[in-house]
Amino acid sequence: MENSSLGLTVCAERVAIFNAVSNGERKIKTIVLTSNLDKPIYPPCGACLQVMSEFGVEEVIIVHGDKVIRHNIGELFPRPFTDWRKQDS
Ligand SMILES: [Zn+2]
């Protein structure tokens, strides 16, 4: 969801996750990104990867034309933020 103020923009990945969560899902295993445009599809941004990590996403699959690229979430986002209140001291 693009907006003229980039700070108000929300990526399609987060829109999809928030929609799933608002419809009762609590764990999302896989995210598939695809487009019918000729432009390449880039891996998700850090904000989306953080949200994905918090909802248990394990794999991000990018489909573009005949190409299917699979990424483990740990490969794309090896050190997600964690809630400091949940960390062991
Ligand atoms: Zn994003």
For 26-56, the pLDDT digits (tens) are: 999 999 999 888 888 889 999 999 999 999 9
Domain assignment present for 87: no
CA distance 83 to 39: 36
Domain assignment present for 38: yes
Domain assignment present for 86: no
Domain assignment present for 13: yes
Q: Given 13, 58, 59, 75, which residue is catalytic?
A: 13
Instruction: Look up the CATH number of the domain holding residue 14.
Output: 3.40.140.10
3-class DSSP state of 39: coil
38 is in which domain, residue-wise? 6-80
Neighbours of ion ligand 1 (CB under 5 A): 11, 45, 48
Residue 57 exposed, middle or buried by CB count within 10 Å (0-12, 13-18, 19+): buried
* 54 in catalytic set: no
Contact at 8 Å (CB) between 80 and 54? yes
* Conformational region of residue 75, where left means phi above 0, alpha means psi within -120 to 50, and beta covers everything else: alpha
CA distance 27 to 49: 14
How many whole angstroms from 21 Cα to the centroid of ligand 1? 17
Domain assignment present for 1: no
Count up the domains in the chain and report the number. 1
Domain assignment present for 72: yes
**pTM greater than 0.85:** no
